[in-house]
Every structure is written in structure tokens, then in C-alpha cells.
Amino acid sequence: MENGIAVQIEDVSFRYDKENVLENVSLMVPKGAFLGLVGPNGSGKSTLLKCVLGLLKPNSGRIFLFGEPIESFREWHRIGFVSQKANSFNRSFPATVEEVAASGLAAKRGLFRQLTKEDRRAVEAALAAVGLSGLAKRNIAELSGGQQQRVFIARALASKPDLLILDEPTVGVDARHVHEFYELLGDLNRRGLTLILVTHDIGTITDQVTDIACLNKRLYFHGNAEEFAQLDDEAISQFYGHPLRVLSHEH
């Protein structure tokens, strides 16, 4: 039952212990959209993404991926993910940049199957896209933190997903590469990739994203970038707890 909707979140609530972290969140991400998800620390952004990725089960509400209820969704290879904690991996793990970048293809290929030529090209292209071509054979532990983060971005890109979910993927990545990375995301989006990006630098992504959603336990705002720009300061400070745009002017 594939329709034009990549992710549909219906009335989702979630709690780790007693208190709700997400409360009646409903959000629809059409195919081809580039959604920027913003909100203060602890507002439930990562939690919402984990629900969408099937890592957490909402206490109530429903989630559909490509029209399929998440419980029966099987095409996980269509979804790429860069975790907020991607960088906290085991530093002494013996693996090359290439091996890590290719590991996301595991779900796409069956048992006993080696990577195909096409897979190798996809891994190469993904590493090139994040500017790491020269380091493919290096041990991942020998890279800098920002370079490592870019390996994880490449891993998500290599499996050529239809939907890419990124939770603050550019933490520790330098300004030049952040800029290049957002350009790359915009580019991929214009070529049809659906994106959900959690970020704190709203200022820099407004030219790339098509939609913005503001979450703080509940969904405060969901609209396109222009509508977001027209929000009055009062609405934003109410949601963020402080006047946001004043802050972003300071940078």
C-alpha cells in the first residue's frame, strides 16, 4: 500500500518511566520532503526518531513507514540512519573505513552473499561524497572525531536509502564540511531522497529544508520554511523557552 507518504506518525505518546517524553505527536513526512526537526535538549527528538526506526515502541499511537504499519514493515534497507551517538563506538575495533561504510549494506544482501561490484561502487561514491576517498583503507580508530562522523554518514548513504534519518549528524564536523554536507543533503533531496534531520543550527539549514517541525514533548509547529520564518518571536520563545532568533543572530 505504498502511497506518497514516507513517514506517518499518528498520535504517538512515549514514556521511558512515568512521565511522557512524547505526547500525542502527529506528523506526516511526504516523500521527497526534507524535514528539519528542532527543539531544545531533552525535548524528545531522538526518542521520536527511535520510535520511527522501530528501536522503541510507542505507548500509544501508530506509525506508518511507506504506507505500511511499522509492526509489519520489513524493508528496513530503505532507511538509512546516523545516530547522535554514532561516534561512541569501540575505539579499538579492528575495522577499516571501507568496512564500516559497507556494513550498512548487510541488510540489503542475503546470507552468504558477498558485496557486488555495484555495492563497492556505492561505498566508494558515498566515501567520496563525504570527502574521505583517500582514507578508505585506514583503520577507523586512526581518524579524527569529525572524520569518523563522516564515515557514519557515508555508511548511511552507501545503502542508497529512500529515507535518510539523521540525528545531529554534524556534531564535531568542521564548518567547511558541515556546509558541504548540507549542500550534499539538499542535492540528494532534490534528486528524490526523503530526509529527516535533527539539528540545532536552524539558521544554516533553512535554505535546504522544505519543512520544519518544532518538538518539545508535543509538536508546537509544523510547516514550510517560509511559514517558520514568519512565526513571531513570542511563539518561538514559548516553545524554546528563550527567543531563538536573537540567539541565531549572535553567531
Residue numbers at the binding site for ligand ATP (CB under 6 A) = 16, 21, 39, 41-47, 84
Distance between CA 210 and CA 145 in Å, rounded?
30
The item of Mg ion, other proteins, ligand ATP, none sharing an interface with residue 95, based on CB under 5 to 8 Å by kind, is other proteins
Q: Does residue 106 touch other proteins according to CB under 8 A?
A: yes
Q: Which is nearer to Mg ion, 84 or 248 (CB)?
A: 84
Backbone dihedral angles phi then psi of residue 222, each to the nearest 5 degrees: -150, 120
The item of other proteins, Mg ion, ligand ATP, none sharing an interface with residue 162, based on CB under 5 to 8 Å by kind, is none
The item of Mg ion, other proteins, ligand ATP, none sharing an interface with residue 54, based on CB under 5 to 8 Å by kind, is other proteins
Burial 149-176 (b: 16+ CB within 10 A, else e): bbbbbbbbbbbbbbbbbbbbbbbbbeee
Q: Does residue 72 touch other proteins according to CB under 8 A?
A: no
Task: For strands 60-65 and 5-15, give the pairing.
Answer: antiparallel
- Residue 134 Cβ vs ligand ATP, minimum distance, rounded to whole Å: 32
Q: Does residue 76 touch other proteins according to CB under 8 A?
A: yes
Count of residues that interact with other proteins, criterion CB under 8 A: 35
> Which is nearest to 178 in space by CA: 212, 203, 159?
203
The item of Mg ion, ligand ATP, other proteins, none sharing an interface with residue 43, based on CB under 5 to 8 Å by kind, is ligand ATP
- Residue 184 Cβ vs other proteins, minimum distance, rounded to whole Å: 20
Q: Does residue 91 touch other proteins according to CB under 8 A?
A: no
> What single DSSP character describes residue 56?
S
Residues 6+ apart with CB under 8 A from 208: 34, 182, 183, 185, 186, 189
CA distances (Å), origin 151, targets 85, 136, 142, 145, 224? 13, 9, 12, 10, 30
Binding to other proteins by CB under 8 A, coded x per residue (else -) over 40-69, reads -------------xxx--------------
- Residue 42 Cβ vs ligand ATP, minimum distance, rounded to whole Å: 4
CB 135: neighbour CB atoms within 10 A? 18
Q: Which amino acid, residue 148?
A: Q
Q: Which is nearer to ligand ATP, 42 or 67 (CB)?
A: 42
CA–chain centroid gap for 142, Å, is 25
Site of interaction with other proteins (CB under 8 A): 53-55, 74-77, 79, 81, 83, 85-86, 89-90, 92-96, 98-100, 103-107, 109, 111-113, 137-139, 155
- Residues forming the site for Mg ion (CB under 5 A): 46, 84
